[in-house]
A and B are shown apart, each in its own frame.
Chain A
Amino acid sequence: MTPSLQHKVPAWRAPLLVGAGLLALAALTLFDAWRVASGVGPGVGPSAAMKLIALLLAALGVAHLVQAARCAKRVLLRDALDKSNYRSLAWVLGGLVAQIAALALGVGFILSSFILFIATARGFGRSLKSWGPVYGLLLSTLIYLFFTKALSLSLPMGPLEQLLG
């Protein structure tokens, strides 16, 4: 996964992708604006702003494509995305996805946050054998207790939370 130093990236790649993305968003907005009825009475309805913003997105998309075409021949020595440490990134993102999945399964706030904490710590090079799990459990329990008891906010409940009352 880690690119070698000789790895080269064409300079047109990023603006091309961004431009395509913007055009796709513009198309999506325009498509939805079609469905929304225009208003009655004087002035403009709810679809006018959608059309205007679709136009703006499309114009910016085209500008990106023009930029991509302009630097078609140039080559960058690795852009910021390629310098990324994808292992760490995958751990952190995986932790976030795992938290969402755990919450959907009804595990509750403390344990799902605990999962997020240790996965993130793993991404930053701390293994399970470190103090990480202890800190994580302590932190998520403290946050839970402080915000539900002291500030009476509601956070997702699970078996552990029911135990704490």
Chain B
Amino acid sequence: MESLSLLADGIWIAMQPSNLLFAAIGVLLGTLVGILPGIGPSLTVALLLPVTFQLDPTGSIIMFAGIYFGGMYGSSTTAILINTPGEAASIATAIEGYKMALSGRAGPALATAAIGSFVAGTIATVCLALLAPWIVELAVQFGPWDYFALMMVAFVTVSATFGSSVLRGMTSLALGLFLGLVGIDKLTGQARLTFDAPTLMDGISVTTLAVGLFAMGEALYVASRFCGIPDKIEKVRGSLWMSRADWKASWKPWLRGTLLGFPIGALPAGGAEVPTLLSYTLERKFSKNPEQFGKGAIEGVAGPEAANNASATGTLVPLLALGLPTSATAAMMLAGFQQYGLTPGPLLFATSPEMVWGLIASFLIGNLMLLVLNLPLVGLWVKLLTIPQAWLYAGILVFAAMGTLASNPSTTELAMLVVFGVVGYLMRCLDYPVAPMIVGLILGPMAENQFRRALQVSMGDYWVFFKHPGSASLLAIAAIALLAPLMFKQLRRFRGGDE
């Protein structure tokens, strides 16, 4: 149980007053931004990244974790109260939660979401602490070919397997890979796709792309849909507390959601949508009165919310242990790490264990803080929802411009942000997912690096990827995951079904 004692050390670090303060500020800021309609956790993280620039690494990463969890909690509040899920993972919450709010049970819906997130987050963090060192031990024996094959699996799962259309997901990924090429090649120092523009030499910044695609894209999209009718907000009526019956209905879904969410998140299987929707279906099946579903069943909020939080913590397993981001939010977290000059992966566990364990411990503390701060403050958060769209989006744009200018004070960078914003707007209109593009930008150069290192080791022998059982089986998984949905589609057509 060495990892548990390391976790205890981590808790000690995270309990330092200054770190506690960072965690509290992070949770509050994260909720503050995440609660604004249309802003999901990954955008919250992208927008607030510059806030943490000047702190010491441990403090800023801890604050960052707080922002992440706060953002997730804020998004589920919005989903319950105004039926606008910030991202696909809160769709299930929005279905049942909003119905509960309509029938005057917004309080228990918010409470079961918060407590469920807390339970799931805590269990998942302990699982993370137990699992990560084990994977790190395994990862030490990984060759560059294994890393490359693992990244191929991540590419396929993020873009093809779970999206609405393989073609659209792959297109988004390919655009990200294309942007990843821009800049100076790290191995030979040659400029690629820079066209002699000095700003392009350093490559495309992940933050600029993420803020452009998410924040600008969303603002432009909402503006293009503007018709002068404001959103309707459900008041938080009735008791805020859950009754004995609510507790009884909730605790099993919390645990089942955690059980579904953590493993799916920890596998490089892309996003929290799958476990949340699985959990929703599962709870409907297990429920004693399934006719309640669709009319505001508390189980339909408790399960998916727990699954959402557990899978978000699960994605941190590949991120921390292997340096592999498998969701848009994880990609933003990786960008954050890189901003502080840190590369997550086996090496980080060896070189700065106090930081890694401090971070893992601060997840526990962040979750607890969410429960303590947010539930009583719910009235204040609800007030935020009444900000008119005009001020809200104007403020978001000013904030987004500020973040870009703070990291790179040039008008060219700002122009790039606007261009990415237009791209994000078009992708929203034409129904292309944006997350694969961000994962492609950050993972593409890493995959290329491993590919070239593998070939250097093998003296140019391409079979190196198939000679090692690990990389060979991973590549096979990637190929199956890419082709399976296409084949199912063909099968369906064969049976006479239409797309």
Residues of A within 8 A of B (CB): 14, 18, 22, 25, 28-29, 32-33, 36-37, 39, 41-46, 48-50, 53, 56-57, 60, 63-64, 67, 79-81, 83-86, 88-89, 91-93, 95-97, 99-100, 103-104, 109, 113, 116-118, 120-121, 123-126, 132, 135-136, 139-140, 143, 147, 151-156
* Chain A CB within 8 A of B429 CB: yes
| Nearest chain A CB to B24 CB, angstrom units | 16
Interface flags, B422-463, vs A, CB<8A=1, else 0: 100110111100000000000010001001100110111000
* Contact across chains for A123 and B226 when beta carbons are under 8 A apart: yes
Say yes or no: A153-B220 contact (C-beta < 8 A), given A22-B174, A42-B460. no
| Nearest chain B CB to A88 CB, angstrom units | 4
- A39 and B191 alpha carbons, distance in the complex (Å): 13
Contact of B398 among A22, A25, A139 (CB under 8 A): A139
Q: Report A-chain residues with C-beta under 8 Å of the C-beta of B220.
A: 89, 92-93
> Would you list 10 pairs from A and B whose C-beta atoms are within 8 A, ordered by A residue?
A56-B174, A60-B170, A83-B225, A86-B224, A103-B411, A117-B394, A117-B395, A126-B391, A139-B395, A151-B54
* Chain A CB within 8 A of B87 CB: no
Among B53, B393, B397, max chain A CB count under 10 A is at: B397
| Nearest chain A CB to B77 CB, angstrom units | 23
Interface flags, B211-240, vs A, CB<8A=1, else 0: 000001001100111111000000000000
* Contact across chains for B54 and A46 when beta carbons are under 8 A apart: no
* Contact across chains for B167 and A63 when beta carbons are under 8 A apart: yes
* Contact across chains for B225 and A57 when beta carbons are under 8 A apart: no
* Contact across chains for A92 and B397 when beta carbons are under 8 A apart: yes
Interface flags, B152-192, vs A, CB<8A=1, else 0: 00000000000000010011001101100100010110111
Q: Report B-chain residues with C-beta under 8 Å of the C-beta of A152.
A: 54
* Contact across chains for B398 and A46 when beta carbons are under 8 A apart: no
Say yes or no: A80-B431 contact (C-beta < 8 A), given A46-B187, A85-B223, A124-B390. yes
- A10 and B54 alpha carbons, distance in the complex (Å): 52
* Contact across chains for B50 and A153 when beta carbons are under 8 A apart: yes
Contact of A100 among B190, B399, B411 (CB under 8 A): B411
- A147 and B444 alpha carbons, distance in the complex (Å): 33
* Contact across chains for A46 and B190 when beta carbons are under 8 A apart: yes
Interfacial residues of chain B within 36-54, with CB under 8 A of chain A in the complex:
50-51, 53-54
- A80 and B66 alpha carbons, distance in the complex (Å): 36
Residues of B within 8 A of A (CB): 50-51, 53-54, 167, 170-171, 174-175, 177-178, 181, 185, 187-188, 190-193, 195, 216, 219-220, 223-228, 388-391, 393-395, 397-399, 401-402, 405-406, 409, 411, 414-415, 418, 421-422, 425-426, 428-431, 444, 448, 451-452, 455-456, 458-460
* Contact across chains for A155 and B455 when beta carbons are under 8 A apart: no
* Contact across chains for B228 and A92 when beta carbons are under 8 A apart: no
* A-B pair number, CB within 8 angstroms: 192
Q: Report A-chain residues with C-beta under 8 Å of the C-beta of B421.
A: 96
* Contact across chains for B393 and A154 when beta carbons are under 8 A apart: no
| Nearest chain A CB to B16 CB, angstrom units | 20
* Contact across chains for B456 and A43 when beta carbons are under 8 A apart: yes
Say yes or no: A50-B401 contact (C-beta < 8 A), given A22-B174, A41-B456, A84-B429. no
In the complex formed, the residue of B with least CB distance to A126 is B390
- A91 and B473 alpha carbons, distance in the complex (Å): 53
Q: Report B-chain residues with C-beta under 8 Å of the C-beta of A49.
A: 181, 444, 448, 451
Q: Report B-chain residues with C-beta under 8 Å of the C-beta of A48.
A: 452
8 cross-chain pairs, A with B, having the tightest CB-CB distances, nearest first: A43-B455, A124-B390, A84-B224, A120-B394, A46-B185, A80-B429, A42-B460, A88-B223
* Contact across chains for A81 and B430 when beta carbons are under 8 A apart: yes
In the complex formed, the residue of A with least CB distance to B407 is A153
| Nearest chain A CB to B54 CB, angstrom units | 5
Q: Report B-chain residues with C-beta under 8 Å of the C-beta of A154.
A: 406, 409
* Contact across chains for B393 and A124 when beta carbons are under 8 A apart: yes
- A50 and B178 alpha carbons, distance in the complex (Å): 8
Say yes or no: A120-B390 contact (C-beta < 8 A), given A89-B220, A96-B418, A152-B54. yes
